[in-house]
Amino acid sequence: MVPFEAAPAQLSVLRRAVRSQLGCWGASAVAEEAELAATELGANVIKHVGRDVAASLVLELRNDRVRLEVHDRSRALPASLAEVCAENDECGRGLHLIAAMACDWGSVRTATGKAVWCELALKPAECEERAGCAAAVLSAYRQLSSTSELDPAALDETVTDVITDLLHWLAARGGDPDGALGRAQMHYEAEAA
């Protein structure tokens, strides 16, 4: 964990800490992306929480991914990319960068505030595999004539995996996963009514 005060001068400290830790883990291949992610996450604390507030950066090596989390004391979660674009000319530049280069990202409330996180693949093919799964689902979708019998828990897990893969596929092609989810929910509710 790297504690820091949310100030522009501290962003270079975060970048050095990221590069150093990734070097220790033998993961220097993703150092540039990880440094950029740490910079953007730290800059968001400065912009949206306040200058000089206490924050911390947590780095974890998880299987074939590096996870970066920035923790602060604000409980306000970032707006979705679609909401940010509707309200702001800058259109959430930092979150768009993170969404474009990360395999996954998000935010969560913690006991003391929130954490905004992203995961970068150590093997670039990992993100492509998820997108490949979604492409296979899309091509097979129209070929299915009937559904197979699955227990409800397995069916729920499979649907969740398919939706997740489709969102990765959409994001990898420059789409808006948050917007797609919102529109899908509206379509579902309209059709179910």
pLDDT higher at 13 or 86:
13
**Co-location of 31 and 107 in the same domain:** yes
**Co-location of 164 and 105 in the same domain:** no
Residues 117-127 pLDDT 10s: 999 988 765 55
**Co-location of 77 and 141 in the same domain:** no
**Co-location of 94 and 170 in the same domain:** no
- Domain span at residue 109 reads 2-121
Residue 81, pLDDT above cutoff 60: no
Give residues with Cβ within 8 angstroms of 37, minimum separation 6: 68, 97, 98, 101, 102, 118, 120
Number of domains in the chain: 2
**Co-location of 114 and 44 in the same domain:** yes
Q: Report, as an integer, the average pLDDT of 31-59.
A: 92
**Co-location of 117 and 129 in the same domain:** no
Question: Which of 78, 102, 121 is the C-terminal boundary of a domain?
Answer: 121
Q: Report, as an integer, the average pLDDT of 81-92.
A: 50
Rounded to two decimals, the pTM is: 0.61
Average pLDDT score, the chain: 79
Residue 109, pLDDT above cutoff 80: yes
**Co-location of 8 and 91 in the same domain:** yes
Burial readout 4-32 (b: 16 or more C-beta within 10 A, e: otherwise): bebeeebbebbbebbbebbeeeebeebbe
**Co-location of 130 and 45 in the same domain:** no
Q: pLDDT-based confidence at 168, cuts 50/70/90?
A: confident
